[in-house]
Amino acid sequence: MGIALFDLDNTLIAGDSDYLWGCFLVEQGIVDGTSYERANRRFYDQYKVGELDIFEFLDFQLRPLAEHDLAQLEHWRAQYIQEKIVPILLPKAHALIDRHRASGDTLAIITATNRFITEPIAGLYGIDHLLATEPQLVAGRYTGKVTGVPCFQDGKIKVLEGWLEDTGLSLDDSWFYSDSHNDLPLLGQVQRPHAVDPDEILEVHARQQGWPVISLR
């Protein structure tokens, strides 16, 4: 029995939950459409080429959470999950997760996307452990700030190390599945890295290293 770690966006789902949340906010008129959509696309393009300033992005991405009460946010989130996420769940991802579950492995999603967005998605896959960027919540309201280290690039390793310490688990028998070259730091830490429908940079690196390259699409 080991640990199976899964990236979320473009790995377990056929899209990016962060970007789609921004699209949803625009479609619902919750944010200013033109400027928000332009910034959302710019940050997503920066992410894909490995040039994202995670703190600049989080200032942008967490701002709408701070501007509305939690009950309203949760109402919007439920609609977002049904409209944007359920259609891009992947049967092959369910099957992969089920194989690890049947083997007795501890399952965890580890994602740069914040917990508010990703917690219900982890629930759809039946995964209890979620390591994500943590938006700060004070007295039942989001502040627009982050608690702890953003779970992105090298930050994923730091978040994972804290979780391993808390759980008493180790990476001695470990898998990590990801689509993104942004996850190369963590892919290099596990025993069995897998590239899943990888971006071009990750695919080249994975093939050079002899890592499995698989598709869940």
75 lies in the same domain as 101: no
98 lies in the same domain as 45: no
The pTM (predicted TM-score) of the whole model is 0.95
Question: What local confidence, expressed as pLDDT, does residue 196 receive?
Answer: 98
Q: What's the domain range around 68?
A: 17-87
Please provide the DSSP assignment of 61-103 as one string: HSHHHHTS-HHHHHHHHHHHIIIIIGGGB-HHHHHHHHHHHHT
Measure Cα distances from 81 to 89, 150, 176, 205 in Å. 10, 23, 25, 33
Question: What local confidence, expressed as pLDDT, does residue 1 receive?
Answer: 85
Is the torsion defined by CA of 49, 54, 60, 66 positive or negative? Answer: positive
User: Where a domain ends, among 87, 112, 145?
Assistant: 87
- pLDDT tens, per residue, the chain with 217 residues: 899 999 999 999 999 999 999 999 999 999 988 888 898 889 889 988 889 898 898 898 999 999 999 999 999 999 999 999 999 999 999 999 999 999 999 999 999 999 999 999 999 999 999 999 999 999 999 999 999 999 999 999 999 999 999 999 999 999 999 999 999 999 999 999 999 999 999 999 999 999 999 999 9
Question: What local confidence, expressed as pLDDT, does residue 126 receive?
Answer: 98
Question: What local confidence, expressed as pLDDT, does residue 12 receive?
Answer: 98
190 lies in the same domain as 109: yes
| Intra-chain end-to-end CA distance of the chain, in Å | 27
Question: What local confidence, expressed as pLDDT, does residue 33 receive?
Answer: 80
Backbone angles phi, psi at 41, to 5 degrees: -65, -40
Q: Residues with catalytic annotation?
A: 7, 9
User: Where a domain ends, among 29, 55, 87?
Assistant: 87
160 lies in the same domain as 68: no
Question: What local confidence, expressed as pLDDT, does residue 187 receive?
Answer: 98
Residue 129 contacts residue 107 (beta carbons within 8 Å): yes
One-letter amino acid for residue 188 of the chain: G
Residue 44 contacts residue 16 (beta carbons within 8 Å): yes
Question: What local confidence, expressed as pLDDT, does residue 148 receive?
Answer: 94
User: Where a domain ends, among 63, 87, 111?
Assistant: 87
177 lies in the same domain as 99: yes
Report how many domains make up the chain: 2
